[in-house]
A and B are shown apart, each in its own frame.
Chain A
């Protein structure tokens, strides 16, 4: 019989000064990304109250794991990865149903080609308000929505997006292409419906 191992003593409590330092560095390097995190959370959950909870939970998890974050690397990407995992594990079930998309089934539609004669400069975009654009993004399948938000709203590189979404860079490229074309199509249909453009008889 092996003797029972003595319980490991709890780690010494960090000094108040160390805690204050940790909070200061967290505020400086992580909390500066709050707006980005909130925008992404809002598009993922589709609901301000849930987005608020998701961001709070993400920040709390990040703070607890702050010693694991490698200083000087991409804090925004690290935080978004935590946020996305929390969303998948705890929120997605409650909020939206994950959709699987047959990417190849989406026929890319080029609005530019449709509008070559009528509005090749795309002036009709100016008449579309923020809410309508956000609604169009919210109606994209989830895989497309998250890719477009990280790229077009947050301005992240393909490589950083690939890391957050845990997919190859080639997948980011193809999703972006199709997501943007789908968005254009939705906004084009909306603009035709509103009478901003005549569009072609499809």
Chain B
């Protein structure tokens, strides 16, 4: 696998959407090619950062109770 092919699969790889065989080929390329490895690390960090920043928020504390009350009237 060359750099271009590897980068084409960047997000599919990080999202765990590839077959084990392709995943293995990419892992091998990332070991052999430090520049691609750095880029993948950067993108992985970015996705982890996004998730961490957005998941803190949840539903308001009383929303569940209000919904349950509403279901009782059904």
Where the two chains meet, the residues of A that have a C-beta atom closer than 8 Å to any C-beta of B are 23, 26-27, 31, 34-35, 37-39, 42, 48, 52, 55-56, 59-60, 63-64, 111-112, 120-122, 125-126, 128-130, 133-134, 137, 148-149, 151-153, 155, 157-158, 173, 176-177, 180, 183-184
Contact = CB atoms under 8 A, between A and B. Distances in A.
A55 B51 CA distance: 21
Given A52-B63, A56-B66, A121 B42 contact: yes
A173 B51 CA distance: 18
Contact of A180 (B41, B45, B46, B70): B46
A5 to B, nearest CB: 29
Given A158-B17, A173-B12, A180-B11, A42 B57 contact: yes
B74 interface: yes
B67 A157 contact: no
Interface of B: 11-12, 15, 17, 38-39, 41-43, 45-47, 49-51, 53-60, 63-64, 66-68, 70-72, 74
Contacts of A39: 54-55, 57-58
A130 B74 contact: no
A60 B69 CA distance: 11
A34 B64 contact: yes
Contacts of B42: 111-112, 120-122
A158 to B, nearest CB: 5
